[in-house]
Structure 1
Amino acid sequence: MAQDVTRPSLSDALTERVLELIRAGGLRPGDRLPSARELSERFAVTTPTLREALRRLEATGAVQMRHGSGIYVGADLERVVIPNPNFRRLQADQMLQLLDARLLIEPPLAAMTARRADPADLDRLGTALDQAGRHLEGEDAELDTANRTFHRAAARASGNAVLGEVIDSLLSVHASEQREILRIFDDRARDHDEHRAILAAMKAGDAERAEELMRAHLLDVKSVIESRLT
C-alpha cells in the first residue's frame, strides 16, 4: 500500500522515509535499494521529487546512485560528522587554527590507539607510512595523500568513531591547506621520521609516549608554519 507523504517539508520527509526504509530493513553499506520508480510509488510522489530527495542523501554519503545500476546504501550512512566540500580556502591564521584543532584532538587519540593496539589497525598505519616513504622524493600530492591516510587511520584506530570522523573531515575538507602545510614545512624526512616514531610507540602499547610524540610532531609543524607565515 502506498505511503502518502505530504507537504510541507516534502523533501525532508522523503529523506527520512528512505532512511527509515534502510534501517528497518537492516540494510548495510553496499546493499541495493528499490528503484526510484518503486520508491516513488511506495511514497506516493513523482519520480523527480523522489530523485531530489535521493540527491540530498547522496550528498551526505547516505546513498549512492550508480548510473545504469541502481541505488545503493552509501558508506557514510551512519556518519556523524559531515564535511562541507564547499568551504572556502583557509587564510594563514585559519591554517594555524586548523593545526591548533588537530593538536587538541590527535594526541589523545594517539594514546587511545596505543592502548588498543589492534594488529590490523597497526598494519594499516604501517602500510600508509610505507607508501609515504616511497614518495619522499616525489610529488607533494602523493606524499600528502599518504600522510593524511596515516593521520586518518591513527584517529580511526583509537576506537572513538566520532573524533575519528572529526579528523577525517578536517583533513578531507582542508586537503589543499594540508598540501600547503607540507610545502611550507619542507622537511619530508623529519616529518616521516616523526610519523615512524609515533607508530613505534603505538606498536609498543606506550600510550604516554604516543601522545607525547604526536603532540611534539604537530607542534613542530605548527612552529615552522607560524614562523614562515608571520
Structure 2
Amino acid sequence: MSGEVARPTLSDALTEQILDLIRTDGLRPGDRLPSTRELSQRFAVTVPTLREALRRLEVTGTIQMRHGSGIYVGADLDRVVLPNPNVRDLRGERVMQLLETRLLIEPQAAELAARRAEPEAVARMRAVLGEAGRHLCGEDAALHLANMDFHRAAGLAAGNGVLAEVLDSLLSVHAVEQREILRLFDDRVRDFDEHTAILEAIERGDPEAARDLMHRHLQDVKSVVEQRLTP
C-alpha cells in the first residue's frame, strides 16, 4: 500500500463550514446554533459526521453542547486557536506521534478502569461497542465515531476526570489523524475483536490483562500504520 496520506475528510470541511456559519450569522458567545438535525440537513451530511465536527469544535471551546438544551457558541470563540481543517499535508510523522502518545496514556487508563469501573461505565462501554459492531460493514464516519467513543468510554471508566479530559481532547483535536489511522489500519473486524477483549478484561476486573491488551492493540495499530506509511 502507498504511504500517501488521505485528502481532508468531509468532517474537516464541515468544521470550517460551521465556523463560517457562526461568522456569517454574526453569532456571539452564548448564542444558540440550530439543532443537530437542522445542521445535518443544512449541510447535507449524516448526524455521525456532524457530531464529529461538533466535538472537534467543542474541545477547543468554540461551541458548547448542552444536553437537553442545544448547541451554543462558546466563550472561547474569539481566542481559540484551531488547527487548519483544510491542511492537505497530513504528515505521517504526526500520525505516528499521536499513536505513541496514546500508547503512553491508554494502557494505564485501561488498567485503572479494570480496578475502578462502575457497572454504569462498563454498560456504557458495551453499548458503544455494540454501536461499532452495527457499523462494521457501514459508513466510515459512523464506525470511526463509535471506535473513538469506545476509547473515550474506557478513559471515563478509569474514574479520573482529568485523565478522561486529556484523552478526550487528544482524540478530538486530532480527529483528522485518527481517521487517517483508521484508513491505513483497515482491519475493522480485528479492531472490533481487540476492543471486545479489552472490554472483557475490564468487566472481569483484571487490570494487568486490560493494560496489556490495550497496549498490544495500540502497538498493533502503530506497527501496521508505520509499515503502510513507509514508501
TM-score range, shorter chain: 0.5 to 0.7
Aligned AA (1:96): M
Q: Give me the whole-angstrom Cα distance separating, in 1, the residues matched to 2:153 and 2:210.
A: 14
1:110 paired residue number: 110
Tell whether the 8 Å contact from 1:92 to 1:229 is kept in structure 2 after alignment.
yes
Tell whether the 8 Å contact from 1:133 to 1:192 is kept in structure 2 after alignment.
yes
Cα-Cα RMSD: 3.3
The verdict on how the C-alpha distance between 1:206 and 1:96 changes in structure 2, with shifts beyond 3 A counting, is same
Aligned AA (1:102): R
2:138 paired residue number: 138
The verdict on how the C-alpha distance between 1:95 and 1:53 changes in structure 2, with shifts beyond 3 A counting, is same
1:151 paired residue number: 151
Q: Highest relative contact order (Cα 8 Å, sep 6+), 1 or 2? A: 2
Q: Give me the whole-angstrom Cα distance separating, in 2, the residues matched to 1:84 and 1:118.
A: 36
Q: Give me the whole-angstrom Cα distance separating, in 2, the residues matched to 1:65 and 1:191.
A: 29
Q: Percent identity?
A: 58
How far 1:71 sits from its partner (Å)?
A: 11
Aligned length: 170
Aligned AA (1:156): L
Give ranges in structure 2 of 5+ residues lacking alignment.
1-26, 32-57
How far 1:60 sits from its partner (Å)?
A: 5.5
Runs ≥4 in structure 1, deviation > 4 angstroms? 51-55, 58-66, 69-72, 87-90
Mapping of residues 183-222 of structure 1, within 5 Å: 183-222=183-222
Mapping of residues 70-149 of structure 1, within 5 Å: 85-86=82-83, 90-149=90-149
Q: Give me the whole-angstrom Cα distance separating, in 2, the residues matched to 1:166 and 1:156.
A: 11
1:179 paired residue number: 179
The verdict on how the C-alpha distance between 1:59 and 1:148 changes in structure 2, with shifts beyond 3 A counting, is closer
- 1:195-217 deviations in whole A, cap 9, x for unaligned? 00000000000000000000000
2:161 paired residue number: 161
Give ranges in structure 1 of 5+ residues lacking alignment.
1-50, 77-82
Q: Give me the whole-angstrom Cα distance separating, in 1, the residues matched to 2:196 and 2:71.
A: 41
- 1:170-218 deviations in whole A, cap 9, x for unaligned? 1111112211111111111010000000000000000000000000000
Tell whether the 8 Å contact from 1:84 to 1:173 is kept in structure 2 after alignment.
no
- 1:97-117 deviations in whole A, cap 9, x for unaligned? 000000000000000000012
Tell whether the 8 Å contact from 2:185 to 2:224 is kept in structure 1 after alignment.
yes
Aligned AA (1:195): H
Larger C-alpha radius of gyration, 1 or 2? 1
Q: Give me the whole-angstrom Cα distance separating, in 1, the residues matched to 2:70 and 2:220.
A: 48
Q: Give me the whole-angstrom Cα distance separating, in 2, the residues matched to 1:160 and 1:206.
A: 18
Tell whether the 8 Å contact from 2:95 to 2:177 is kept in structure 1 after alignment.
yes
Q: Give me the whole-angstrom Cα distance separating, in 1, the residues matched to 2:211 and 2:184.
A: 24
Q: Give me the whole-angstrom Cα distance separating, in 1, the residues matched to 2:71 and 2:148.
A: 30
Tell whether the 8 Å contact from 1:109 to 1:154 is kept in structure 2 after alignment.
yes
